[in-house]
């Protein structure tokens, strides 16, 4: 049983994230999507809301997917849930430098856990949660870029601000 963890902020979950999930479940038997609880990042959505959006968005995949939250060191959390692989998505070159640093540090902290990178789908290479939040706040149309559940939460939140 190969168990992988896909960590991130998912603020909110986008079609770019879902593309990575869809491909990861073809490689691994079990996938835990782990939402980082980090109030310093000042997220638009609470951890619970982010988890709810992911849960609804991954339902159609009918796979062994758990949605969880974590804080602290990712390698510690990965060990606690008995996963052996970290999955991350790689977009344009801008992700590379940061991801390279983190993966080297994680390997130093815990050599048994490896990180696997899946290249972003061409149509989602320039898609980020941050960009989606900006477009939604300004009243732009995000359909086709996020699952329906994220569009719904964004609309509700944008109308309140
Ligand atoms: P973080 O704050 O950890 O970067 P994100 O939610 O922004 O959290 O991203 C989580 C993971 O998903 C990261 O590995 C990121 O590179 C990847 N990711 C985000 N958007 C996309 C996308 N459009 N295509 C592929 N991977 C993506």
Pocket test for ligand 1, best of 16, 67, 69, 127 (most atoms within 8 A of CB): 16
Residues having CB closer than 6 A to ligand 1 are: 8-10, 14, 16-17, 20, 88-89, 91, 95, 120, 124, 127-129
Q: Rounded to an integer, what distance in angstroms lies between the CA atom of residue 68 and that of residue 78?
A: 11
Q: Rounded to an integer, what distance in angstroms lies between the CA atom of residue 15 and that of residue 58?
A: 11
Q: pLDDT by residue (tens digit) across 80-132?
A: 999 999 999 999 888 899 999 999 999 999 999 999 999 999 999 999 999 99
* Catalytic residue positions, numbered: 17, 41, 91, 129
If you average pLDDT over residues 24-49, what whole number do you get? 95
Residue-level pLDDT at 133? 96
- Could you tell me the sign of the dihedral formed by the alpha carbons of 107, 116, 11, 35, in that order? negative
Q: Which atom of ligand 1 is nearest to the CA of 127?
A: 23
- Beta-strand relationship, 85-90 and 65-70: unpaired
- Backbone dihedral angles phi then psi of residue 61, each to the nearest 5 degrees: -75, -20
- Could you tell me the sign of the dihedral formed by the alpha carbons of 62, 11, 107, 104, in that order? positive
- Burial environment of residue 66 by CB neighbours within 10 A (0 to 12, 13 to 18, 19 or more): middle
Q: Which atom of ligand 1 is nearest to the CA of 95?
A: 16
Asked whether residue 11 carries a pLDDT value surpassing 90, the answer given is yes
Asked whether residue 160 carries a pLDDT value surpassing 80, the answer given is no
- Compute the distance from residue 121 Cα to the ligand 1 centre, in Å: 12
Residue 42, phi-psi category: left (phi > 0), alpha (psi -120 to 50), beta (remainder): left
């Amino acid at each position: 049983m190969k168990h992988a963890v896909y960590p991130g902020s998912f603020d909110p979950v986008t079609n770019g994230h879902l593309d990575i999930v869809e491909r990861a479940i073809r490689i691994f038997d079990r996938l835990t999507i782990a939402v980082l609880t980090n109030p310093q990042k000042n997220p638009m959505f609470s951890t619970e809301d982010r988890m709810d959006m992911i849960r609804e968005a991954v339902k159609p995949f009918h796979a062994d997917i758990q949605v969880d939250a974590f804080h602290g060191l990712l390698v510690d959390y990965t060990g606690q849930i008995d996963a052996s692989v970290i999955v991350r998505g790689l977009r344009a070159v801008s992700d590379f430098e940061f991801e390279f640093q983190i993966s080297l540090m994680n390997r130093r902290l815990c050599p048994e856990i490896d990180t696997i990178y899946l290249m972003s789908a061409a149509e989602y290479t320039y898609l980020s949660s941050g960009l989606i939040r900006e477009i939604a706040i300004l009243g732009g149309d995000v359909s086709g870029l996020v699952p329906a559940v994220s569009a719904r939460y964004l609309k509700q939140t944008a109308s309140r601000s």
